[in-house]
Amino acid sequence: MNSIVHVYKGDEIARYGFGDPHPFGTDRHDVFHKELAAANLGERIHYAHPRRASVDELALFHTADYIDRVSRLSVTGKGYLDEGDTPAIKGIFDAASDVVGSVLSAVDRIMHGETRRAFVPIAGLHHAARDRAGGFCVFNDCGVAVEYLRKNYGLKRIAYVDIDAHHGDGVFYGFEDDPDLIFADIHQDGRFLYPGTGAETETGTGRARGTKLNIAMPPGATDSDFRAAWRRVEDYLRNAKPEFILFQCGADSLEGDPITQLCYTEAAHAEAAASLCRIADEFCEGRIIGVGGGGYNRRNIARAWTRVVQSFVAAG
């Protein structure tokens, strides 16, 4: 099996952003890729090109009405796609479709045996709901990827693991009543941070009650707090036996992010990535995709995401 990590790179995903002075700027892609290049991983990584998701692929997760609305507002470039966090800038439909398509391309490469691990830096847009945008997120690449893996490859037990400072509400509520979606999310307590959800009592609804894991961290939580929480994630995942892992490794949970209050270092991201590779090797032939998620301190983005790729490489 090929152990080269496929890392997505290209202007198509770099341009997903909302311009200065919005925190989700279009410089995030290059900041990461510069740091990754400096890590000298050589032949252990392969640069993969983005591809665009089709409307039919977007519709695996999103409603037709919402896809139409983004398409229309993307032409005028005026107003907001949500309550005021996510501007409808010109061309955002194509850029958001390129983000989703890149994650689907990574799924295909892994499922076709070209690689076992992939990383897409501009992705992990976990606040987008099936029928609306939210928190800088237009289309939910992970939500689409879950439905795509089910439809095209017949997988059922897909794990979504999220260590971004914000709760992955778009994924959580998108599958809240679905017992097959394995969901583990460590985030800053929603009483102190957007989107305000993800209490530990939220374990799923209906037939899925008791199947999801939300862990809320107090502002100021450090690496040692993270490690204690992570042990619960490992136990949960081993018990759930995933067939594929999606890892949203948002860098806004590192100390120094301008819009959150968690205080991890990049070691948290490196250790979580290494741990997930071990679990992926144990249960699902090593299959894992890392997606960059949030992160608004450029130095933190560069370091945390590079450490994740290094952990994927070291896991072989």
Contact 14, 122 (CB under 8 A): yes
CB of 190 to Zn ion, least distance (A): 12
User: Footprint of Zn ion on residues 144-173 (CB under 5 A)?
Assistant: 164-166
Helix axes 298-315, 266-283, angle to 10 degrees: 30
Pairing relationship of beta strands 182-188 and 45-48 according to DSSP bridges: unpaired
CA–CA separation, 254 and 205 (whole Å): 31
- Pick between residue 236 and residue 296 the one whose CB is nearest to Zn ion: 296
Binding mask 43-82 for Zn ion (x = CB under 5 A): ----------------------------------------
* CA 150/CA 134 separation, integer angstroms: 25
Q: Does 204 bind Zn ion (CB under 5 A)?
A: no
Residue 238's alpha-carbon distances to 159, 213, 276, 278, 305, in angstroms, are: 11, 13, 10, 10, 24
CB contact at 8 A, 70 and 55: no
User: What's the rounded Cα separation, in Å, for the pair 200 and 213?
Assistant: 7
Using CB under 5 A as the binding rule, whether residue 252 contacts Zn ion is answered as: yes
**Sheet harboring 45-48: ordered strands across?**
45-48, 5-8, 117-120, 288-291, 244-248, 158-162, 182-188, 212-217
Specify the stretch interacting with Zn ion by CB under 5 A; choose among 67-75, 96-104, 117-125, 288-296.
Answer: 288-296
Considering the complex, state which of residue 148 and residue 160 has its C-beta at the smaller distance from Zn ion.
160
* Stretch of residues binding Zn ion (CB under 5 A), selected from 141-149, 190-198, 214-222, 244-252: 244-252
Which pair of structure tokens corresponds to residue 275? 């741990």
Size of the site for Zn ion (CB under 5 A): 6
**Joined tokens for residue 71:** 């398409």
In this complex, which beta carbon is closest to Zn ion, that of residue 163 or of residue 309? 163
Compare residues 164 and 169 and give the one whose CB is closer to Zn ion: 164
Residue nearest Zn ion, Cβ-based: 294
Cis peptide before 218 (omega within 30 of 0): no
Q: Compare residues 161 and 165 and give the one whose CB is closer to Zn ion.
A: 165
Shortest spacing between CB 151 and Zn ion, in angstroms: 28
Which one of 50, 124, 198, 294 is in contact with Zn ion (CB under 5 A)? 294
If the CB atoms of residues 23 and 87 are measured against Zn ion, the closer one turns out to be: 23
Residues that bind Zn ion (CB under 5 A): 164-166, 250, 252, 294
